[in-house]
Amino acid sequence: MSSKLRRLAVIYVAAALVALGGYSFAAARQLRQLRLTMGYESARAFEEAVTAVEDLSLSFKKLAYANDEALGKRLCAQACADALAAETALSVLPFPTQELEKLQGFLGRAGDYAGSLCALTDEELSKEHREHLAACGEAAEDFSRTLLDIQGRLHDGSITMDTRERRLVNIERQESPMLSALLLDYEGGFAAPAEFAYEGRYSPAQEEAGGTLSPEEAVSLAAKAAGVEPRELREEFDYAGPDGRRCYSAGGLLLGVSSRGLEFMGQSRLVSASTLTRDQARERAEAFLSRMGYGPVALYSEGGSDYVAVFRYAPTQEEIMRPDDALSISIAMDDGSVYAFDATEYRDRTVELEWRTGEEEALATLPEGVEAVSTRQLICKSPGGRYLPCWELRCTGPSEEGARILVDAETGRQWKIELGDA
């Protein structure tokens, strides 16, 4: 190699080293900034969690003194907001919070229960309500004390905030305890209030009686739905449990049955043609439901695409539909076969209800400028799983936007509003 080439090589290598050094410096600086940002965000999330749980404890304490309906509901709404804020802040901490099941579950139930009390109509908080709120308040106060203690130790440096980087790289030996470890230790001994029934999302589920079909009858039912002999079915898997769920296949068709009956079925093929009309598809759907013994049911809604029509049928009671117990059936528009079927929520039952509010009284709940396009009676489920007699009002508002309003026929008050086409 000539001296000229050697000099060029040295120059290029030196330039590369300078460039690499500059890049490394910039990358290290950016990494340092990212670490500072992540640390700040983690610290802020924990501070917000501490504040939110402390505020939740204070809201429950105030409720023990409240004897005014409006004030009580405002405090319940504040407690609900505090619990939601605490859940959100904990979820941002730099470690998985799935293991904090008791703490997250307590925050969810306590907030939902407090929020449900805001819906009480012309009622003061009863003795039972106050007892449940007091139990939630005691748990929130204990949780708050623990978080405040951890906060103080975090500030004086006796414990360390987790970082996602350290959890992934795992190259430094950590001498002081980690925040996640202390929260997990507290989680293990946390005593959440006993579960109780209320009108909300986290109310204990009501146990339902199991089905009556034997395994042999369930297999025959699956074969009937698939249009094959029982021996042609292939068992794919089963679930342990009182309902004895099993899944079978027949060609490209997958079916699920239990002691309650047929629960689902679906095809794996692609539908790429449309030869049936919507009315013909609906006739095929109703023929299948009739053949399988579903009834009485009525069409609640329909949708889908040009290739697959989807119909939702609700069971009826004295010609009043129960949409929360409905089943769904999809028809392939090329050959009219059942493309999908879902009856996991279907229940054939009769519920006793009292309709204290008439149609005219329900319409009177609409504000000025809102007009009802249609009305009908429905039996709906509350968040806690209780059946409610309802008037469904399809309306148009001042902005000509459609809305669906449900009026509780027991209380005569609106309890649910959904925006959409009337």
pLDDT (tens digit, 9 = 90+) per residue, 130-184?
Answer: 889 999 999 999 999 999 999 888 888 888 887 765 544 445 555 678 888 888 8
Residue 379 and residue 327 in one domain: no
Percent of the chain past pLDDT 90, that is, above it, reads 40
Peptide bond into 204 cis (omega under 30): no
Please determine, for residue 208, whether its predicted confidence score (pLDDT) is greater than 90: no
**376 in the same domain as 326:** no
Residue 35 has pLDDT above 90, yes or no: no
Amino acid at position 269, single letter: R
CB 336 within 8 A of CB 350: no
Q: Are residues 296 and 400 in the same domain?
A: no
Q: What is the CA radius of gyration of the chain?
A: 30
pLDDT in the model for residue 242? 65
How far apart (Å, rounded) are the C-alpha atoms in residues 231 and 422? 49
Mind listing the pLDDT tens digit for each residue in 280-329?
Answer: 999 999 999 999 988 799 999 999 999 999 999 999 998 999 999 999 99
Tokens of 28: 């290290």
Residue 347 lies in a domain: no
Query: In which region does residue 390 sit, left (phi positive, over 0), alpha (psi from -120 to 50) or beta (all else)?
Result: beta
- Taking Cα atoms as reference points, which of 49, 186, 75 lies closest to residue 136? 75
Asked if 213 and 221 touch (Cβ cutoff 8 Å), the reply is yes
Q: What range does the domain containing 57 cover?
A: 3-189
- The pLDDT of residue 169 is 47
> How many CA atoms, within 13 angstroms, populate the side-chain half-sphere of residue 399?
6
* C-alpha–C-alpha distance, residues 155 and 157, integer Å: 5
Contact 43, 66 (CB under 8 A): no
- Residue 322 near residue 348, CB atoms below 8 Å: no
DSSP state of 172: S
Does some domain include residue 241? yes
Residue 55 has pLDDT above 80, yes or no: yes
Same domain, 364 and 337: no
Show Cβ contacts of residue 376 under 8 Å, excluding neighbours closer than 6 positions.
391, 392
Instruction: Output phi, psi for 377, to 5 deg.
Output: -90, 140
Q: Is 260 exposed, middle or buried (0-12, 13-18, 19+ CB in 10 A)?
A: buried
Residue-wise pLDDT for 363-418, tens only, equals 999 998 889 999 999 999 988 788 999 999 999 887 777 889 999 999 899 989 99
Tell me if 21 is assigned to some domain. yes
Query: Which residue shows structure tokens 């106050």?
Result: 130
Residue found by looking up tokens 């579960």 in the block: 195
Residue 353 falls within a domain, yes or no?
Answer: no
Mean pLDDT of the chain: 84
Asked if residue 30 has pLDDT above 80, the reply is: no
Mean pLDDT, residues 200-209 taken together: 73
pLDDT for 93 = 83
Q: Which residue, chain included where needed, has tokens 């879902």?
A: 342
Residue 335 forms part of a structural domain: yes
- Is there a single domain that holds both residue 329 and residue 224? yes
Q: What is the distance between the alpha carbons of residues 381 and 323, in angstroms, rounded to a whole number?
A: 9
Of 14-28, 216-230, 239-253, highest mean pLDDT: 216-230
Calculate mean pLDDT across residues 206-210: 64
Count of domains observed in the chain: 3
Predicted confidence (pLDDT) at residue 121 exceeds the cutoff of 50: yes
